[in-house]
Amino acid sequence: MNKYLESMRVMLGAAPRRPEPVEYTEEAKTIHFYKKNEKLDFQALRLEAHAHQKKRIWLKRRWITLLAINLLFTVSFWLDIQLLEGALTASRLLGFHLIDLNSALQVMLAHKHIIVNLLIGTGTVFVLWLLLGGRTFCSWVCPYHLVAEWAEKLHLYLVSKKIVSDHTFNRRVRTVLWVIFAALAWVTGYTVFETISPTGIVSRALIYGPGLALGWVVLLLLFEVFYSRRAWCRYVCPIGLTYGITGVFSPLHVTYKLANCHHEGECRKVCEVPHVLDCIVKGRAPAAQLDIGADCTRCGMCVDVCPSGALTFEIKGLRKLM
């Protein structure tokens, strides 16, 4: 199956497809042959992965970028310097209009016609996320992602102490909700999703000050802490799906190198969307080198935890990013 179609299928909620024997390249077959009887000390490998993770190179870069972007909105508003006006859903940078793709879609569905100004505003944003990979927005820009990431640490601590247990949902729920929110905008003439989107709520709260809508965000975080790990981002948010579709053909990917992998599984433990790393399971990778699919948020957590260099950021045609 075409890798782009497979990436899209998984992003829409299907389980990763296990490759048929005929789909394995000769190089991959050779690597799997030697790995089959390889004896590894997984406990030692996991300790090595944890030691490597402490450097948190990509985590630091991501948090700095995310905080800088969102603080730029706040500083621009409070100092009235008109550098970056608006919020994440719609803004203007030095006179250039920037419109969130999902927000623009919701508005046009609500108005039931194509709005030229919105198309112009989404053009730059579309190209940006086409180049970087759509869901890069989720982990490198979205302010809710950051607070949910901190809530996730508390959830994992409570799970480790057996105070709570984690509950999962079918990933197709996100696709169904994407359709429902689009239909609601069309039928009601109102951007229903925008009123409950924690991305927009947190962004506006940072810029214009907190409001009652933050209560909804707190409820979401409590649900994620005590019931389901990263539930909003994994199973609900249509923004992630919209940007994921945009980034299917992105040249920037997390790249997997089969020969370097020890298959200890630490990368899947830290991944927000572990289904995209199905290829790291021993015997699954059909090729010696693979691009991780479009549903990957490019957060770099797996790259930080991998001590062997099996997972790296790479741009097609260029060498890996440091």
| CA–CA dist 169, 154 (Å, integer) | 20
* The one-letter amino acid at 39: K
Average pLDDT of 242-248? 89
Decide if 306 contacts 267 (C-beta within 8 A).
yes
Residue 118 belongs to a domain: yes
- Order of all β-strands in the sheet with 252-257: 289-291, 252-257, 311-315
> Nearest-5° angle of CA 182, CA 134, CA 285?
115
The domain boundary residue, chosen from 197, 214, 245: 245
User: Can you tell me whether residue 93 is helix, strand or coil?
Assistant: strand
Residue 284 belongs to a domain: yes
| CA–CA dist 196, 89 (Å, integer) | 13
In this prediction, residue 303 carries a pLDDT of 94
Averaged confidence pLDDT in the chain: 89
Report the share of the chain in percent with pLDDT over 90. 61
pLDDT tens per residue, range 213-238: 999 999 999 999 999 999 999 999 99
Tokens of 243: 């940007």
pLDDT at 319 over 90: no
Residue 322 belongs to a domain: no
pLDDT tens per residue, range 174-183: 999 999 999 9
Q: How many domains does the chain fold into? A: 2
Q: Are 234 and 89 part of one and the same domain?
A: yes
Q: Are 74 and 188 part of one and the same domain?
A: yes
pLDDT at 37 over 80: no
pLDDT at 45 over 70: no
Please choose, from the candidates 257, 260, 268, the residue with its C-alpha nearest in 3D space to the C-alpha of residue 308.
260
Alpha helices in 12-142 (DSSP H): 26-36, 42-53, 57-78, 101-111, 116-132, 136-140
Q: Are 113 and 85 part of one and the same domain?
A: yes
Residue 272: which domain range? 3-16+23-58+251-315
Decide if 66 contacts 313 (C-beta within 8 A).
no
In 10 A of CB 70, how many CB atoms?
A: 20
Tokens of 292: 């991780």
Q: Are 230 and 298 part of one and the same domain?
A: no
pLDDT at 95 over 80: no
Residue 35 belongs to a domain: yes
Q: Are 113 and 237 part of one and the same domain?
A: yes
Place of tokens 């630091």: 60
The domain boundary residue, chosen from 245, 270, 295: 245
Q: Are 157 and 188 part of one and the same domain?
A: yes
Q: Which helix (H) or strand (E) holds 318?
A: none
Q: Are 237 and 271 part of one and the same domain?
A: no
Residue 235 belongs to a domain: yes
Please choose, from the candidates 228, 218, 235, 220, the residue with its C-alpha nearest in 3D space to the C-alpha of residue 155.
228
* The one-letter amino acid at 199: T
Residue 95 belongs to a domain: yes
Q: What backbone torsions phi and psi does residue 281 show, to the nearest 5 degrees?
A: -65, 135
Q: Are 43 and 72 part of one and the same domain?
A: no
The domain boundary residue, chosen from 245, 271, 302: 245
Q: Are 41 and 7 part of one and the same domain?
A: yes
Enter the pTM of the model: 0.90
Residue 93 belongs to a domain: yes
Q: Are 208 and 263 part of one and the same domain?
A: no
pLDDT at 321 over 70: no
Q: Are 36 and 93 part of one and the same domain?
A: no
Contacts of 6 (CB under 8 A, 6+ apart): 17, 293
Q: Are 86 and 207 part of one and the same domain?
A: yes
Residue 228 belongs to a domain: yes
